Amino acid sequence: MKQLVLNIPEKKYNFFLKVIENFQFVKIAEEKEIKLSQKEKQFVDDIKESLHEVELHQQGKIKLKTLDQVLDEL
Domain ranges of the chain: 10-73
Confidence tier at 54 by pLDDT (50, 70, 90): very high
Q: Rounded to whole angstroms, how far apart are CA atoms 33 and 16?
A: 19
Q: What is the end-to-end Cα distance of the chain in Å, rounded?
A: 42
Q: Rounded to whole angstroms, how far apart are CA atoms 14 and 30?
A: 14
pLDDT at 48 over 80: yes
pLDDT at 55 over 80: yes
Q: pTM (2 decimals)?
A: 0.50
